[in-house]
Amino acid sequence: MREQPLEGARHSSLAFLVGGYAMLGPFSISTYMPFFPALMMAMGASQAEIQQILSAYLAAFGFMMLLHGPLSDAFGRRRMSALPFWKSVRPHPSMSRASPVKTRA
């Protein structure tokens, strides 16, 4: 049986989506690491505090990868991919009240 052209397009778009998710973790680290000194100066934080921010991001990223796999198998990959996208596009109201790492006196 021959595959329909539309089905092939769906498979290629899924491959790009999964590839993008797999690339997100290493890309974020590669873009974040060179700015450590600038972040330390801008936020008035120590190197350990900036590294804790990166560690918290990676822990959350790893946890969500473990959580998204079974959920996407249960509810469908498209639905599980669209929900975090739309939540990240819409900023949370508490982000406007975020404080810096250290409060300068």
List the domain boundaries for the chain. 11-86
Write the CA distances from 81 to 10, 78, 89, 105, integer angstroms. 14, 5, 13, 43
The letter for the amino acid at 26 is: P
- Report whether 14 contacts 77 (CB < 8 A): yes
Q: Are 68 and 80 in contact (CB under 8 A)?
A: yes
Decide if pLDDT at 104 tops 60: no
What is the pLDDT, as a whole number, of residue 8?
Answer: 55
Range 75-90 average pLDDT: 74
Q: Return mean pLDDT, the chain.
A: 75
